[in-house]
Amino acid sequence: MLSFGQHSEDGDWVEHRVDTVIAAGETDYQSYLFFRSPVHGVCVALDGDIQSCAEDEAIYHEALVHPAMLLHPDPRRVLIMGGGEGATAREVLRHPGVGEVVMVDIDRRFVELCGEHLASWNAEAFADPRLTVLCRDINEYLCEPGPGFDVVIGDLVDFSDPADPAAALYSDPLYARLRPRLEPGAVVATQAGGVTTSRTAAHAHVRATLRRAFAGVASYGVVVPSFYHLWSYVVASDGPLPAAGELPLERFSHRAAERGLSLPATGAVHLATAFSLPAAIADSLDQPGS
C-alpha cells in the first residue's frame, strides 16, 4: 500500500493512504506530487508538504480570501501573491464588483499542472477574462510601477524559520515594495500556517512583520481537516479591522448579502467567529515580540 507522510508541527507525523499517484516530479523551483486519497480526494503536495485537498480546499480558500474581501467596502482590483492552484482566484472572482485580478506565481510549470489536474477547482477562474496570470518573482513585480490594488491576498508557501528561503515572502522588504501599490484603505491578507497552543512562533512572526508595515493587524483561524491543525491567517490594513475577540458578523453578513455571495464551505457567520481565537493561542500572540 502506498502512503504519503509528513511532519505536522514538532513531533507529529501524519500519513495519508495513496490510492493513485496522478503526477509527480520537479519544476525549476520545487518538487510536486498530485495523488488521490480515499479520505481527502485529490491532494497536492509541494516539497513534501500538503498544500490542498479536494474535500476541504474550499474551507482553506474561503477563509483566506473572503474576510479581506468583506472587510473592504468595494474591492475592484485584487493582487494574489502565489495561488498557483487557481482556487484563490476562483474565490476572489466570486465578488461581482471585482474588475481585475492579477495573480503572480513564480512557478509556471506548477500553474500548468494545476490547470491540468485541478480543473474542477480552477477552470472557470483561469478562463475568466478578469484574471491575468503572471509567472514571475513577486518581489520583482512589486518593484515596478503600476495601478494600485484594493485587496492583496498572500497564498504562498509556509513560513517556518527566518533562515528559510520562504521567509523573504513574509519580510519587511516585501511589504515595503507592496505599499506603493496599495490604494487608500487597502486590505492585505495572508495565510500564516498551522498553530497549536504551544506552537505560534511562525504565525507571530508573520503578524509582527505586518504590524510593522500597517496600522492594524488581526489574526483568525479555521480548522482545515486535512491539515490536522487550526490553520491561521492574518489581515492587515491602515483602515479599521476587527479588534481582538470582536466578531465582525454584521459587517460580513451584510456585505455578503449585498454581493449575493454564498460561502458554502464556511459561511459568513463562521468566518466572523474565526476572529475569536482560543484564548491560549490568542494570548501567546500578544506577548512581547509577537
Give the tens place of pLDDT for each residue, 113-148: 999 999 999 999 999 999 999 999 999 999 999 999
Q: Where are the alpha helices (DSSP H) in 85-168?
A: 87-92, 108-117, 119-127, 138-142
In the prediction, which pLDDT does 163 show?
A: 67
178 and 117 fall within a common domain: yes
CATH code of residue 7: 2.30.140.10
208 and 261 fall within a common domain: yes
18 and 89 fall within a common domain: no
36 and 67 fall within a common domain: no
Give the tens place of pLDDT for each residue, 149-199: 999 999 998 877 666 777 788 899 999 999 999 999 999 999 999 898 888
18 and 93 fall within a common domain: no
34 and 79 fall within a common domain: no
In the prediction, which pLDDT does 227 show?
A: 86
What is the count of structural domains for the chain? 2
Spatial contact of 23 and 100, defined as CB atoms under 8 Å apart: no
97 and 27 fall within a common domain: no
Among 38, 53, 68, the domain boundary falls at 53
Q: Is 111 helix (H, G, I), strand (E, B) or coil?
A: helix
184 and 208 fall within a common domain: yes
175 and 229 fall within a common domain: yes
Q: Confidence class of residue 290 from pLDDT cuts 50, 70 and 90?
A: very low
Radius of gyration of the chain (CA): 18
| Residues labelled as active-site residues | 155
pTM assigned to the model? 0.94
| List of residues 6+ apart from 140 with CB closer than 8 A | none
Q: What is the domain extent for residue 144?
A: 57-285
Is residue 157, in this structure, part of any structural domain at all?
yes
132 and 180 fall within a common domain: yes
Distance between CA atoms of residues 43 and 201, nearest Å: 27
The three cell numbers locating residue 67: 474576510
Residue 32 vs residues 228, 231, 240: alpha-carbon distances, Å? 21, 22, 39
Is residue 290, in this structure, part of any structural domain at all?
no
In the prediction, which pLDDT does 287 show?
A: 52
Q: Is 181 helix (H, G, I), strand (E, B) or coil?
A: helix
